Amino acid sequence: MGLGGCIILIAVGAILTFATDWDMQGVNLDLVGIIFMIVGLIGVATFSSIARRRRVVVPPATPVVDDTRPHTRDGYSDGYGV
């Protein structure tokens, strides 16, 4: 579940908890809404911690060398030294 799904769960939970006054036999919609909001918040926290770990950049262990250009003694390949 991505970040969008977590935000939708929070929104649906808030709507069920605060904006409805339906009465269903055997179902407490306020409790269902609170559970949706808690699951959505746990999902947001999990998603943000995973995204934070992915952003860590490790520098390469060995330097990158470009071997596509011809090399000369002075470092220039056109012969003019410029």
Question: Is the whole-model pTM more than 0.85?
Answer: no
Both tokens assigned to 73: 């003694």
The yes-or-no verdict on residue 10 having pLDDT over 80 is: yes
Cα angle 65, 68, 71; round to 5: 85
Confidence of residue 12 (pLDDT cuts 50, 70, 90): very high
Q: Where are the domains of the chain?
A: 3-52
Both tokens assigned to 74: 């002075």
Kindly report which listed range (2-6, 8-12, 24-28, 55-59) carries the lowest average pLDDT score. 55-59
CA distance 3 to 47: 7
Structure confidence by residue, pLDDT tens digits, 33-48: 999 999 999 999 999 8
Q: What share of the chain is helix, strand, coil (3-state, %, to 5)?
A: 50, 0, 45
